[in-house]
Every structure is written in C-alpha cells, then in structure tokens.
C-alpha cells in the first residue's frame, strides 16, 4: 500500500470582473486569484486490486462521498488518462475550507487529488498534462495547482503568474448561507447596469510596480447578489472594506479584524497569502 497526504489551499478572488457570456454557457472573466494558508488535507491510499475502484470518506457531513464529488471525478479521470488499471484508491477528505463559500474548496481538493495520485505514480503525467486535466474538471483547479498570485482569464482556467506579495487575511462568512456560482452568475446576467471598472488591469499594474492593491479589490458577483442577502449587507456595514470572494458567501479583508460579529458568522483570523499551491504535507 502507498499513502500520501496533500495540502489543498483555499483561494481568494482579489478581483473578479465578468467580460461576457460564452457559447458554452460559462462566462469569460478577468480575475486575480490568490492562494491562502487555509487548507483541506487529503489522505490518499493506493493498493493493488483486481480492478480500479475509488472510495471517498471524510470529516464533513455536508459533501457527497460518491461519484458526484469532484475528487472522485478527478481520480477517475487520472486513472483513465494515465491508462492505469488494477488499483483500489481510498481518499479521506479533511475539510477545513468552508463549503459553498467562494473559496474553491471543491476545486482545490480535486486538483490535490490529481497532484497526489501523480506523485504516487512517480509523475507519470507531465505538469502540462495535469493542467489540461484541471481545465477539463473546472474553472479554479489550475489556479489551485499552480498557486501564488495569478491572473485568471477565459473561464478561469487560463493562468498567468503575477508578482507575489505577503499580506494578512481575515475571512468572514455567514454560517448558514452558501451561494452557488450558478445563482450568482444568473443574477449578474439579470442586472441592467453592468459596471466596467477595469480593476483587474489596474491591480496587475500595481503588483508589477509594487504599489498598494487595496483600492482595486472588486467582485462583480458581489454586486450581483448583495441586495438579496441581509447577511452580506450586515458584513459590509460592520467591515466596510470587506470584499466577497468568488460567488460568496465568504468576505475577506486584508488586515486583522477587531470587530466582534454575532455567533452566526464564522470569522477566521491570522491567515496570509502564500506563494505556492497544492503540496505534500511535511
């Protein structure tokens, strides 16, 4: 039997600007994404068997442990692509990243699965091939695999490294509110006014010139859903410079938060930007 533990970091959207809707139903975006030191941990165990099988388990009661899980789909795609047969795979998912939160928890676990299996099988697939598999599975996987600070375009799978800066992060999430990407993008499409601030381009320039980035934090999907949820409005009233990540419902602020929020809000402090992505545990 072979075992490996993989750290799968959460991501933030420092900017998220929607360019247009694509013919395939997805949206083209311009987004600056940054990985942070909040991790899910995968324990992957492989042993020889008569045929391939994949079994999932974990510490969360809020995710499926069947073929609908992106981790299962990633493992299945890996074995098909690498043309490997006769292995029993067990993956334990330690969830620490909030679910339906705009932090790429499912995507980073799937990317971590590809990375972990490829490591067990001595890098049978090239990094370029892993990125192609990531792009097949979803929009944020490539960012999570690569890590650091990245400009993500197309539907999020095309990435370009940006200069890394170190910053503190606090996350704030309504405990009982999750917002799906489908809902957020649908509500954005229904908006008659769609602002075009070009904050992504401005932040890219700021990063290259080592200038402050805080004034360019922005998310079109926050604009799309903000009026529909008093929980989001409450966060903004208490922490005006907080910005939503992804489709929400997590907000973040690039500082330590002193404000005390009610018990129905999850606050995760003492986080920071990290320069890397998926990795093995020490």
pLDDT, mean of residues 47-64: 96
User: What secondary structure, in 3-state letters, does 25-70 show?
Assistant: CCEEEEEEEEEEEEEEEEEEEEEECCCCEEEEEECCCCCCCCCCCH
| pTM, rounded to two decimals | 0.96
- Count up the domains in the chain and report the number: 1
> What is the tens place of the pLDDT at every residue in 136-169?
999 899 999 999 999 999 989 899 999 999 999 9
Write down the pLDDT at residue 155: 86
Domain hosting 118: range is: 1-282
> What is the tens place of the pLDDT at every residue in 228-274?
999 999 999 999 999 999 998 999 999 988 889 999 999 999 999 99
3-class DSSP state for residue 22?
coil
pLDDT, mean of residues 19-39: 90
3-class DSSP state for residue 12?
strand
Write down the pLDDT at residue 282: 66
pLDDT, mean of residues 112-139: 97
CATH number at residue 220: 3.30.230.10
Which residues are part of the catalytic machinery?
A: 11, 140
Burial of 90 (0-12, 13-18, 19+ CB in 10 A): middle
């Amino acid at each position: 039997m072979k075992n490996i533990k993989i750290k799968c970091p959460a991501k933030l959207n420092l900017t998220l600007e929607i360019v247009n809707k694509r013919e395939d139903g997805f949206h083209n975006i311009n987004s600056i994404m940054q990985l942070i030191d909040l991790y899910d941990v995968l324990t992957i165990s492989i042993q020889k068997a008569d045929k391939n099988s994949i079994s999932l388990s974990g510490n969360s009661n809020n995710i499926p442990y069947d073929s609908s899980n992106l981790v299962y789909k990633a493992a299945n795609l890996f074995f098909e692509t690498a043309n490997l047969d006769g292995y029993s795979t067990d993956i334990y998912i330690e969830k620490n990243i909030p679910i339906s939160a705009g932090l790429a928890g499912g995507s980073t676990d799937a990317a971590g699965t590809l990375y972990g299996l490829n490591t067990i099988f001595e890098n049978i697939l090239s990094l370029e091939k892993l990125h192609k598999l990531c792009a097949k599975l979803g929009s944020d996987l490539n960012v999570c695999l690569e890590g650091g600070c990245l400009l993500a375009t197309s539907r999020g799978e095309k990435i370009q490294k940006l200069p890394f800066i170190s910053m503190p992060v606090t996350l704030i999430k309504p405990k009982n509110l999750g917002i799906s990407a489908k809902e957020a993008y649908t509500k954005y499409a229904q908006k008659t006014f769609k602002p075009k601030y070009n904050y992504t381009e401005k932040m890219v320039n700021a990063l290259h010139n080592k200038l402050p980035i805080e004034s360019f934090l922005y998310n079109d999907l926050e604009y799309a859903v903000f009026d529909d949820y008093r929980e989001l409005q409450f966060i903004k009233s208490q922490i005006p410079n907080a910005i939503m990540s992804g489709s929400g419902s997590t907000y973040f602020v690039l500082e330590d938060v002193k404000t005390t929020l009610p018990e129905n809000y999850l606050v995760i402090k003492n986080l920071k930007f990290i320069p890397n992505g998926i990795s093995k545990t020490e």
